[in-house]
């Protein structure tokens, strides 16, 4: 374990987890002096009946009847402003966000507008612009992957001006995260697989990237072990409530880890692949994770080796020579992807060339890799990667990930 | 009668002088490298016209300001003189600035330890970090530069390394 001379760690979110955690919402709201929350979600979540489950669980002890279910897949400034008006017009006093990353970001944006009585959300963009606590926000994730229920950032897009506003503040952390197994029970296996691997990439990158610290490490190690054990079970038996809850908790642990120690090359290339080709983030993470490990192995072998214990258990850990443990971690994560590929009937892609769109056409044609490699140079995740990266490095990793072949580590440039 | 007295931090003149000289020299070196090194030139070409950035220590400096005017990169001194600054890389304190700029702590480690605040668009800030890394490789011997940058570019050709170094040093000293 590395002991940095200095680090910062913060997670002040109250986490309530269980098979019936949603029923706790009225008490939690009343404790905070709130009685009329605005529930925000998206059409997909509402259509799957998840907001109905939340409404039934809340009952009539608080007035949670106002539900806005039209959050778009990409957070949008106009939607934030419209829903903030809805909040004010109906004299709401708290926000309940039910959904994934976009719903959470939208909820955080609304909370800034209504708490600061702001006209211009832009005035609060950047890091540290918020100076006081916001209205109570309850986050209820409906996937087990993003960890956005415990992160202190939000990204809101102004589609009219083509601007992406990023907000960062400890005040953006939700007050409460509710992890309830019912929220993910209906998630299809291939989405469960890729969102679960997103959580795995948070936990693993948080463990070997530059801002790691003993507190984020503890969260990472717990998350890695739980995901490796429970993800295949949740994908194989979607209605297994215990594995669903375990995955929700693991994704939350991974979220706490990475929001305090950041991520690296895997997210760097994944963000770029997502923005250039529009492919799901979780799938990019699943595919790129073994390559991120391989690329950084010469700098972080000892640290990566420690991941073998939560992944494979004591017997395998002790039976593996220390110098082979990091490589064993890479093999086991590749093996996990293979396993998920098999369980999902091939829908969980193992390499970039296997990702297909709805019509079955390849989503990431090989000739687009140079464009992805260039786009990755504009993404901040590279800062926290242990080894430096340039265009050629990005290209080399992408080519290997496209083909699905292990990275030729002799080609990694070392200083 | 007020019983609370303002506590003034020490001025730390030696550290301040070191950081100021380092920033002055680096600013001129960036201007020089933009003429000598193809990669630095290319990075600046991707930035908008009149792009300006600053690097320095909070709360009251010293600072280094570099800007692009009509395609030419210029060191603008320690003050932006009212010119809008698109990216501000601020080190949280003079002590942290001294640690980083005396290479007791690498830029990467300083970032990981939350000692740097980036104010502005991340893609531009990343370009500046790449430029600063290249300039440090030109200015410093390998042993020290290896502490400053994440990866020392051992694959550079001798012509680039030594030719570039002569070019950057000459132009930096002459201010051209």
- Nearest residue of B to residue A378, measured between CA atoms: B123
Those of residues 89-118 in B touching chain A at CB distance below 8 A are 108-109, 111-114, 117
Asked if A377's CB is within 8 angstroms of B122's CB, the reply is no
What pLDDT does residue A120 have?
77
How many angstroms separate the CA atoms of A168 and A124, rounded?
Answer: 9
Q: pLDDT of A321-380, one tens digit each?
A: 999 999 999 999 999 999 999 999 999 999 999 999 989 899 999 999 999 999 999 988
Taking residues A229-234, what's their average pLDDT? 98
Greatest CA separation for chain A: 65
Closest CA relative to residue B22, chosen from B88, B97, B119, B89: B97
Domain-located, residue B166 = yes
pLDDT band (50, 70, 90) for residue B9 = low
Q: Which of B104, B110, B112 to mutate to test the interface with A (most CBs of A within 10 A)?
A: B112
Question: Three-state SS string across chain A, please?
Answer: CCCCCCCCCCCCCEEEEECCHHHHHHHHHHHCCCCCEEEECCHHHHHCCHHHHHHHHHCCCCCCCCEECCCCCCCEHHHHHHHHHHHHHCCCCEEEEEECHHHHHHHHHHHHHHHHCCCCHHHHCEECCCCCCCCCEEEEECCCCCCHHHCCEEEEEECCCCEEEEEECHHHCCCEEEEEHHHCCCCCHHHHHHHHHHHHHHHHHHHHCCCCCHHHHHHHHHHHHHHHHHHHHHHHCCCCHHHHHHHHHHHHHHHHHHHHHCCCHHHHHHHHHHHHHCCCHHHHHHHHHHHHHHHHHHHHHHHHHCCHHHHHCHHHHHHCCHHHHHHHHHHHHHHHHHHHHHHCCCCCCCCHHHCECCCCCECCCHHHHHHHHHHHCCCHHHHHCCCCCCHHHHHHHHHHHHHCCCCCHHHCCCC
Taking residues A254-281, what's their average pLDDT? 94
Task: Give me the residue label for tokens 């998840």.
Answer: A50
Domain-located, residue B4 = no
What pLDDT does residue B10 have?
66
Domain-located, residue B62 = yes
The shortest CB-CB distance from A383 to any of B111, B119, B152 is to: B111
Q: pLDDT of A201-215, one tens digit each?
A: 999 999 999 999 999
How many angstroms separate the CA atoms of A266 and A286, rounded?
Answer: 9
Q: Do residues B93 and B61 make contact, with C-beta atoms less than 8 angstroms apart?
A: no
What pLDDT does residue A384 have?
92
pLDDT band (50, 70, 90) for residue B127 = very high
Domain-located, residue B117 = yes
Q: Is the pLDDT of residue A255 over 90?
A: yes
Mean pLDDT of the residues in chain B: 89
Taking residues A65-85, what's their average pLDDT? 92
pLDDT band (50, 70, 90) for residue A84 = very high
Which residues on chain A are in Cβ contact (under 8 Å) with B129?
A: 383
Q: Which of A210, A259, A260, A384 to mutate to test the interface with B (most CBs of B within 10 A)?
A: A210
Asked if B149's CB is within 8 angstroms of A388's CB, the reply is yes
Domain-located, residue B160 = yes
What pLDDT does residue B90 have?
93
Taking residues A272-280, what's their average pLDDT? 92
What pLDDT does residue A89 have?
95
The whole-angstrom distance between A152's CA and the closest CA on chain B is: 15
* Token pair listed for A187: 């998630």
The shortest CB-CB distance from A415 to any of B112, B119, B151 is to: B151
Asked if B113's CB is within 8 angstroms of A5's CB, the reply is yes
Asked if B129's CB is within 8 angstroms of A210's CB, the reply is no
pLDDT greater at residue B99 or residue A305: A305
Taking residues B106-135, what's their average pLDDT? 87
Domain-located, residue B19 = yes
How many angstroms separate the CA atoms of A280 and A274, rounded?
Answer: 6
| Other beta carbons within 10 Å of A55 | 17
Mean pLDDT of the residues in chain A: 94
Which residues on chain A are in Cβ contact (under 8 Å) with B149?
A: 388, 415
Asked if A384's CB is within 8 angstroms of B111's CB, the reply is yes
Asked if A6 is an interface residue toward chain B (Cβ–Cβ < 8 A), one would say: yes
Which residues on chain B are in Cβ contact (under 8 Å) with A414?
A: 151, 154
What pLDDT does residue A350 have?
97
Q: Which residues contact B153 (CB under 8 A, 6 or more apart)?
A: A415, B137
Asked if B109's CB is within 8 angstroms of A210's CB, the reply is yes
The whole-angstrom distance between B169's CA and the closest CA on chain A is: 23
The strand order across the sheet containing B63-69 reads B72-75, B63-69, B52-57, B87-91, B116-119
Q: Which of B151, B152, B153 to mutate to test the interface with A (most CBs of A within 10 A)?
A: B151
Asked if B129 is an interface residue toward chain A (Cβ–Cβ < 8 A), one would say: yes
Closest CA relative to residue B149, chosen from B160, B138, B158: B138
Number of domains chain B is built from = 1
What pLDDT does residue A1 have?
65
pTM for the model stands at 0.92
- Nearest residue of B to residue A260, measured between CA atoms: B112
Closest CA relative to residue A178, chosen from A136, A226, A141, A135: A141
How many angstroms separate the CA atoms of A316 and A291, rounded?
Answer: 22
Burial of A29 (0-12, 13-18, 19+ CB in 10 A): buried
Which residues on chain A are in Cβ contact (under 8 Å) with B117?
A: 127
The shortest CB-CB distance from B108 to any of A210, A377, A378 is to: A210
Domain-located, residue B115 = yes
Pairing of strands B72-75, B63-69: antiparallel
What pLDDT does residue B2 have?
57
- pLDDT above 70: percentage of residues in chain A: 100
- Nearest residue of A to residue B105, measured between CA atoms: A5
Q: pLDDT of B87-103, one tens digit each?
A: 999 999 999 999 988 88
Domain-located, residue B7 = no
pLDDT band (50, 70, 90) for residue A220 = very high
Question: Which domains can be identified in chain A, with CATH numbers?
Answer: 14-183 (3.40.50.1970), 189-411 (1.20.1090.10)
Taking residues A232-258, what's their average pLDDT? 97
The whole-angstrom distance between B117's CA and the closest CA on chain A is: 9
The whole-angstrom distance between B174's CA and the closest CA on chain A is: 31
Q: Which of B45, B99, B149, B150 to mutate to test the interface with A (most CBs of A within 10 A)?
A: B150
Asked if A384's CB is within 8 angstroms of B112's CB, the reply is yes
pLDDT band (50, 70, 90) for residue B122 = confident
Q: Is the pLDDT of residue B113 over 90?
A: no
Asked if B125 is an interface residue toward chain A (Cβ–Cβ < 8 A), one would say: yes
Enclosing domain of residue B116: 13-174
Pairing of strands A137-141, A176-180: parallel
CATH assignment of the domain containing B92: 3.30.1050.10
pLDDT band (50, 70, 90) for residue B3 = low
């Amino acid at each position: 374990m590395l002991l940095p001379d200095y680090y910062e760690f913060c997670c002040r979110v109250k986490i309530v987890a269980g098979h019936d955690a949603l029923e706790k919402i009225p008490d939690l709201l009343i404790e905070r002096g709130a009685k009329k929350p605005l529930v925000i979600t998206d059409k997909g979540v509402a259509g799957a009946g998840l907001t109905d489950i939340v409404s039934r669980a809340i009952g009539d002890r608080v007035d949670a009847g106002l539900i806005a279910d039209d959050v778009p897949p990409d957070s949008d400034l106009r939607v934030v402003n419209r829903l903030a008006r809805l909040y004010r017009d109906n004299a709401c006093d708290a926000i309940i966000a039910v959904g994934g990353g976009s719903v959470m970001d939208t909820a955080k944006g609304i909370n800034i507008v209504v708490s600061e009585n702001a006209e211009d959300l832009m005035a609060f963009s950047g890091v540290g612009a918020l100076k006081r606590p916001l209205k109570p926000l309850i986050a209820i994730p409906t996937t087990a992957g993003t960890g956005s229920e415990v992160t202190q950032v939000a990204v809101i897009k102004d589609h009219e001006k083509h601007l992406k506003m990023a907000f960062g503040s400890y005040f953006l952390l939700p007050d409460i995260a509710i992890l309830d197994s019912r929220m993910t029970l209906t998630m299809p296996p291939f989405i469960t697989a890729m969102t679960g691997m997103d959580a795995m990439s948070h936990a693993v990158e948080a463990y070997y990237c530059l801002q790691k610290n003993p507190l984020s490490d503890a969260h990472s190690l717990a998350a890695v072990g739980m995901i490796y054990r429970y993800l295949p079970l949740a994908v194989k038996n979607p209605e297994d409530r215990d594995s669903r809850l375990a995955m929700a908790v693991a994704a939350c642990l991974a979220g706490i880890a990475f929001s305090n120690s950041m991520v690296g090359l895997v997210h760097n290339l994944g963000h770029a692949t997502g923005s250039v080709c529009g492919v799901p983030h979780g799938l990019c993470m699943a595919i790129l994770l073994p390559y991120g490990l391989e690329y950084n192995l010469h700098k972080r072998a000892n640290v990566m080796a420690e991941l073998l214990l939560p992944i494979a258990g004591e017997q395998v850990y002790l039976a593996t020579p220390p110098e082979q443990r990091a490589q064993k971690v890479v093999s086991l994560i590749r093996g996990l992807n293979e396993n998920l590929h098999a369980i999902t009937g091939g829908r969980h892609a193992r390499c970039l060339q296997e990702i297909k769109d709805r019509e079955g056409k390849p989503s990431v044609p090989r000739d687009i890799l140079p464009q992805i490699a260039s786009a990755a140079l504009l993404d901040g995740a590279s800062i926290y990667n242990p080894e430096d990266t340039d265009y050629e490095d990005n290209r080399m990793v992408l080519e290997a990930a496209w083909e699905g072949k292990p990275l030729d580590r002799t080609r990694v440039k070392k200083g | 009668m007020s019983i609370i007295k303002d506590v003034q931090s020490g001025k730390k003149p030696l550290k301040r002088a070191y950081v100021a000289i380092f920033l002055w020299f680096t600013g001129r070196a960036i201007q020089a490298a933009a003429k000598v090194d193809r990669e630095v030139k290319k990075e600046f070409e991707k930035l908008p016209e009149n792009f300006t950035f600053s690097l320095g220590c909070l709360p009251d400096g010293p600072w280094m300001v570099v800007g692009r005017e009509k395609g030419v990169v210029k060191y603008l001194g320690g003050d932006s003189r009212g010119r809008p600054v698109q990216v501000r890389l601020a080190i949280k304190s003079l002590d942290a600035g001294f640690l980083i700029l005396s290479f007791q702590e690498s830029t990467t480690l300083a970032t990981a330890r939350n000692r740097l605040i980036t104010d502005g668009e991340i893609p531009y800030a990343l370009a500046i970090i790449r430029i600063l890394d290249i300039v440090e490789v030109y200015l410093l011997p390998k042993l020290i530069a290896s502490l400053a940058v994440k990866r020392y570019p051992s694959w550079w050709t001798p012509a680039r390394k030594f030719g570039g170094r002569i070019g950057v040093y000459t132009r930096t000293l002459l201010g051209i």
